[in-house]
């Protein structure tokens, strides 16, 4: 597939069949646009995959927004970058003829997805957030009614404190999202359980026909 020239370097794989929402794949710190394609194929076979590379560099490692220290975010940059990413999603939807995607983000990618849900909820149909934390200390979520969010946290995660993940779940619920929050007996890294649970959750949301524009 030859990708269109859009505002983010990205990979795009077209859908193979109908009924599955497109996935917006958002990598963790030091990843790139190739990282999560295998995960996307595993958890939602046949979905279109849109996978941008974060534009912020930290010691040469791509990220989706600036941080001041681990877990301490430059919130002005979070806002700017979340809007930039939501604009990219709109561009890509137009260029590739896509319904609103479900974000699948890991770590920094999950945090920018949470920021987009907070600031630009119309950009996403739902989200799978792997090891996410609250991206903006004082922001309440936008209107998330009708959107599904699967939040998978690690009980032994050294980066995301348990109460922070629980707070994120509460913020998203307050916005009206249908939030499923599970705490797995793992650390910050991805596990087989993440793959199994994300796949089951996406399978449960799949549409029997081509109505993938529906929010999940």
| Residue ranges in contact with ligand MLT by CB under 6 A | 28-29, 67, 70-71, 107-108, 111, 159
107 tagged catalytic = yes
Q: How far is the CB of 112 from ligand MLT (least distance, A)?
A: 8
Measured from the CB atom, is 112 or 197 closer to ligand MLT? 112
Rounded-to-integer distance, Cα 150 and Cα 179, Å = 6
Q: How far is the CB of 84 from ligand MLT (least distance, A)?
A: 16
Q: How far is the CB of 110 from ligand MLT (least distance, A)?
A: 8
Q: Which one from 157, 181, 194, 212 is the annotated catalytic residue?
A: 157
> By C-alpha distance, which of 187, 181, 189 is closest to 149?
181
Q: DSSP per residue over 23-84, as a string?
A: EEEE--TT--TTTTHHHHHHHSTT--EEEEPPSEEETTEEESS-EEETTEE-HHHHHHHHHH
Q: Which one from 107, 181, 194, 212 is the annotated catalytic residue?
A: 107
Q: Mark out the alpha helices in the chain (DSSP H runs).
A: 37-43, 75-96, 108-119, 162-174, 192-205
Measured from the CB atom, is 51 or 111 closer to ligand MLT? 111
Q: Which two tokens stand for residue 112?
A: 């920018």
157 tagged catalytic = yes
163 tagged catalytic = no
| Cβ-closest position to ligand MLT | 108
Q: How far is the CB of 113 from ligand MLT (least distance, A)?
A: 11
Contact (CB, 8 A) for 29 and 58 = yes
Measured from the CB atom, is 28 or 52 closer to ligand MLT? 28
Rg (CA), the chain: 16
Q: Which one from 32, 178, 188, 191 is the annotated catalytic residue?
A: 188
Catalytic site positions = 107, 157, 188
């Amino acid at each position: 597939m030859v990708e269109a020239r859009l505002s983010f370097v990205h990979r795009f794989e077209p859908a193979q069949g109908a009924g599955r929402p497109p996935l917006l794949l958002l990598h963790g710190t030091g990843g790139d646009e190739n990282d999560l394609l295998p995960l996307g194929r595993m958890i939602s076979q046949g979905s279109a995959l849109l996978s941008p590379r974060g534009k912020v560099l930290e010691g040469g490692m791509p990220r989706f927004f600036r941080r001041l220290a681990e877990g301490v975010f430059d919130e002005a940059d979070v806002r700017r970058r979340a809007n930039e990413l939501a604009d990219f999603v709109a561009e890509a939807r137009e260029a590739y003829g896509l319904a609103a995607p479900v974000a699948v983000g890991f770590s920094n990618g999950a945090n920018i997805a949470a920021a987009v849900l907070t600031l630009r909820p119309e950009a996403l149909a739902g989200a799978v957030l792997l090891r996410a934390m609250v991206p903006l200390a004082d922001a309440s979520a936008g209107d998330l009614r009708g959107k599904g969010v699967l939040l998978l946290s690690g009980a032994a995660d050294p980066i995301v404190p348990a109460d922070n993940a629980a707070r994120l779940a509460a913020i998203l619920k307050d916005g009206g999202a249908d939030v499923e929050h599970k705490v797995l007996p793992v650390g910050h890294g991805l596990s087989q359980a993440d793959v199994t649970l994300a796949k089951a959750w996406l399978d449960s949301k799949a549409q029997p026909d081509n109505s993938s524009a529906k929010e999940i």
